[in-house]
Amino acid sequence: MTCQDIKEKFPDYLIGDLSQEEKAQMQNHIAACPSCRKELESLSAIWTKLGVLPEVQPETTLRTRFYTMLEDYKNDLGEEKPKTHLLEQIKTWFRPVWTGHPAFQLSFSLLFLFVGLIAGYFITGSRGQPAEISDLRQEVQSMRQTLAVSLLDQPSASERLRGVNLSVNTEKPDSGLIEALLNTLNTDSNINVRLAAVDALYLFYDFPLVKEGIAQTLSTQSSPLVQVALIDLIVNVRERRAIESLKNLIQTKTLHPDVKLYAELGLQKIGM
C-alpha cells in the first residue's frame, strides 16, 4: 500500500471505522514509514483535543419557547375546523322555550321579564337606585344558573349539553352550579357532555372547588378523550396540586399509550 492509500484511511481510523485487516495494514505501514506515523500522530492528537470542548446546556427558555410554539401550531391546526356561529349558539339556548318542558318556558318568561325590566329602567332614564339594578342583574344571573342546573339533570344528552353551554355564560357561578358541572363530569354517560363540562370548568378554574374536583376526577375517567382534555386543562392553568393525580394516571396499567405520553409531556410543562 502506498502512503496515499494509507492517508486516505486516516479519517476512518479517527472515528474507529476500520476493519481488523485494514487496521493491521495501517499499523504495518506506519511502523515502517516515519512520515505517515508523524502525520497520524498529530491528527489523532488534535482529534482527541477536540474532546476538551464540553457539551453546553441551553437555557430553559429554549424549551419553553419550543412548547409554546408547538402549542400554537396545534391550536392553529384545530382552528381549521368550522366554528359554530354565535347566533346559532344563542338559538340553541332558547330552543327549550319552544320545544321543552313548561318549567323552562316559565323560567325563560321570567328571565325575559327581568331583562325587560332592566331595559325599561334604562330607557326611561331613571336615575339613582343603582342597588336595585344590581339586585335585578343578580336575579337574572341566578335564574340562568337555576336553569342551567335543571338542564344538567335532564335525561336527554342534548338538553344536558345546553345546560353546560348556558353555564358557560354565567358571570359568577355559585357552588351549586359548579357542583352540578363536576357531577356531570364525573357521572354523565355521554362523552360529549363530559367534554363540554371540562371546557366549562376551564373558565371557572380559579374557584377552589373546581381545582379540587379536577384533581380528583382524573383517576375516575376512563375515556382517553376526556383524559386528554383534563390534562390540557391542568397544564394550561398550571395546576400544581394536580401533579400527584397526573403521576398516578401515568402509573395506570390500562392507560392508552398516547394519553400516557400526553400526561408525561404535561408534567414536564407544569414543572417548567
Partner 1 sequence: MVSAMTDIQMMEDVRDGKVERLAVLFERHHVPLFNFFLRLTGSSNISEDLVQDVFYRILNYRHTYKGQSKFTTWMYQIARNTHIDYLRKKKEELPLDKQWNEALCTELSPDEKLEQGQDAILMREALAKLPLKKREVLILSRYQNLKYKEIAELLGCQIGTVKAHVHRAIKDLGKIYFELSGGTVS
List contacts with partner 1 (CB under 8 A): 7-8, 10-12, 14-15, 17, 41-43, 45-47, 49-50, 52-59, 61-63, 65-67, 69-70, 73-74, 77, 257-258, 260-262, 265
Nearest approach in angstroms of CB 45 to partner 1 is 4
Task: Please say which residue, 43 or 203, places its beta carbon nearer to partner 1.
Answer: 43
Nearest approach in angstroms of CB 49 to partner 1 is 6
Question: Under a CB-based contact definition with an 8 Å cutoff, are residues 207 and 173 in contact?
Answer: yes
CA 211/CA 219 separation, integer angstroms: 14
CA-wise closest residue to 170 among 202, 212, 194, 203: 203
Cell numbers standing for residue 120: 325599561
CA-wise closest residue to 47 among 101, 3, 10: 10
Nearest approach in angstroms of CB 84 to partner 1 is 23
Task: Please say which residue, 71 or 174, places its beta carbon nearer to partner 1.
Answer: 71
CA 256/CA 260 separation, integer angstroms: 6
CA 201/CA 250 separation, integer angstroms: 23
Question: Under a CB-based contact definition with an 8 Å cutoff, are residues 179 and 210 in contact?
Answer: no
Question: Under a CB-based contact definition with an 8 Å cutoff, are residues 97 and 105 in contact?
Answer: yes
Cell numbers standing for residue 168: 358557560
Task: Please say which residue, 124 or 254, places its beta carbon nearer to partner 1.
Answer: 254
Nearest approach in angstroms of CB 185 to partner 1 is 23
Strand, coil or helix: 75: helix
Nearest approach in angstroms of CB 83 to partner 1 is 20
Task: Please say which residue, 33 or 43, places its beta carbon nearer to partner 1.
Answer: 43
Q: How many helices (H) and strands (E) does the chain have?
A: 15, 0
Task: Please say which residue, 50 or 131, places its beta carbon nearer to partner 1.
Answer: 50
Q: What share of the chain is helix, strand, coil (3-state, %, to 5)?
A: 75, 0, 25
Nearest approach in angstroms of CB 12 to partner 1 is 7
Nearest approach in angstroms of CB 57 to partner 1 is 7
Task: Please say which residue, 104 or 262, places its beta carbon nearer to partner 1.
Answer: 262
Task: Please say which residue, 8 or 171, places its beta carbon nearer to partner 1.
Answer: 8
Strand, coil or helix: 3: helix
